[in-house]
Amino acid sequence: MITVCRTVVGMAQQHNSPGLRAWAGLLVVLGPVLLVSMDGSILFLAMPRIGQALTPSADQALWILDSYGFAVGSLLIAFGNIGDRYGRLRLLMIGATVFGLASAGAAFAPTPELLITARALMGVAGATLLPSALAVLSELFTDPRQRARAIGIFAAAFAAGFAIGPVLGGVLLERFWWGSVFLINLPVIGLFLVFAPILLREVRTVRTGRVDVVSVVTSAAGLLLAVYALKHAATEGLAAVPVLAGVAGVALLVWFARRQRHLEHPLMEFTLFRDRVFTVAIITGLLPLAAWSAAAYLAGIYLQSVLALPVLRTALLALPGAAVLTVTCVVTPFVVDRVGKRAALVTCHFAIAAGLLFLLPATTTGGIGWYVASTVIAGVGYGISFAVVADTAVGAVPAERAGSAGAIAETSNEIGNALGIALLGSLAALVFRVGGPDLAPTLGETLEIQGLAPGVAGEAKEAFVSGLHWVAVVAAVLHAGLGGLALRWIPRTERHLSGV
């Protein structure tokens, strides 16, 4: 996401105008890209309905949310390399087809396990779409100025899609059943499959070396095993199998990192993290999305299950924050030209920290205004992070390693989205399990118990709100700390180099 949410830099000034085909091609490309971004967040308001229909366990509910993000993040770099070798348009067509089929499967999934599988398959397809869409778009616009304008539209649409995902989900749920949030993908995918072969050209890049399949498998498996262990410990306590899975996951991740040092063409170049500016940029790609996804998911449950708001009103309450995020993403590159990336990144983290702390006054009886204020203030920080992280990461490394830096930046963004639900969501589940009435692992399941006494329901709501507060505090502290690191590690002379 963050790779496309920036201004094209250092381009020569030319004056060739693209034709109607190029702009029509841009419109076609935006379809699946919008779907990939929206499907990272569209379930945030749908989970209470899915919980009622499929009755997933606490850890299954978390997997329904973030199996998609983990699949996208784990495979972005690999599919970027595959597309370069075998054709970006071909990969787009295959990915869009699989995305549509998986969306239909998710809409009619009869069990939590099948829904998790369908979401993971959607994530695999999404990983094929993101890197290839931008490459095809760059081929359509050969003039640097027009290309910059097209990528600006592309970036704004992507950020808007991610921000309005919960809003769209709420609007659909007001009239239809929960599966409608997946079926909305099908007409967009259908139009793309019809018009893409007509308007888009194939793009290939000759590369040396091969995709290291072992690295792809070990990184994905290590992440999933480690997160499974954390989720199980938070929702159900320690047990032998999850602990062993966690140990195996950590071991796989360590082995993956060590393997990259000996490969001629590593999947991820860890040596880039020796640069402090690059490290701050990558963490900035991960942490804001982790905070945003966790806060949006938990706030959706808070508004619907604690304050008993209808889903449409809950969706509309998310609009101000979504608007601020999108506008900030668009205007940030112009502001950074004047204030520099250091000031922008510092502002990013402290704005997010302040916004998250606005959730603390929320109670079981009221907190709508605090929620809206939180999304608006934090939305400024989220928009900044989307707009400047990739430029900061790429600018911190030598030109010949810019591709690897950009790929890591985009991967950190997608992994951050999934980790927010996995880790911060698990923290909220742990607080609920410890402080709640211990009748069921989630608030939704507890409130559905027949004959539940009002006092017990109140206790369950109090425990959930406490979990929300803990998540807000932990995420705010992490952002404040990263803002401090940005102050220390990013030079004052760091500036955004634009082509103006």
Confidence of residue 144 (pLDDT cuts 50, 70, 90): low
Q: What is the pLDDT of residue 9?
A: 30
Spell out the domain ranges in the chain.
1-209, 212-266, 273-440+450-500
When mean pLDDT is compared across 35-39, 100-104, 110-114, 491-495, the lowest value belongs to 491-495
3 state SS for 251-279: HHHHHHHHHHCCCCCCCCCHHHHHCHHHH
Domain covering 1-209 in this structure, CATH number: 1.20.1250.20
SS (H, E, C) 72-112: HHHHHHHHHHHHHHHCHHHHHHHHHHHHHHHHHHHHCCCCH
Give me the pLDDT at residue 369, please: 96
pLDDT band at 264; cut points 50, 70, 90 = confident
421 DSSP assignment: I
Higher pLDDT, 155 or 476: 476
Question: Which residues neighbour 470 within 8 Å (Cβ) at sequence distance 6 or greater?
Answer: 427, 428, 431
Cβ neighbors of 488 (< 8 A, separation 6 or more) are none
What is the structure's pLDDT at 41? 80
pLDDT above 80 (res 298):
yes
For residue 204, is pLDDT > 70? no
Q: Which CATH class is domain 273-440+450-500?
A: mainly alpha
Instruction: Look at residue 426 in the predicted model and tell me its pLDDT.
Output: 87
**Cα distances (Å, whole numbers) of residue 42 to 99, 178, 254, 278, 381:** 15, 11, 33, 31, 21
Give the pLDDT score at 258: 92
| One fold for 1-209 and 273-440+450-500 | yes
Q: What is the pLDDT of residues 79-125, one digit of tens each?
A: 777 776 677 788 889 999 999 999 999 999 999 999 999 999 998 99
Cα–Cα distances (Å) from 276 to 128, 268, 279, 390, in that order, read 30, 17, 5, 15
Over 90: is that where the pLDDT of 356 sits? yes
Q: Which of 252-261, 286-295, 407-416, 484-493 has the lowest mean pLDDT?
A: 407-416
Please report the pLDDT score of residue 4 as a whole number: 39
Q: How far is CA 314 from the centre of its chain?
A: 21
Mean pLDDT for all residues in the chain: 84
Q: For the whole model, what pTM was predicted?
A: 0.81
Measured between alpha carbons, how far is 131 from 167 in angstroms, rounded to an integer? 26
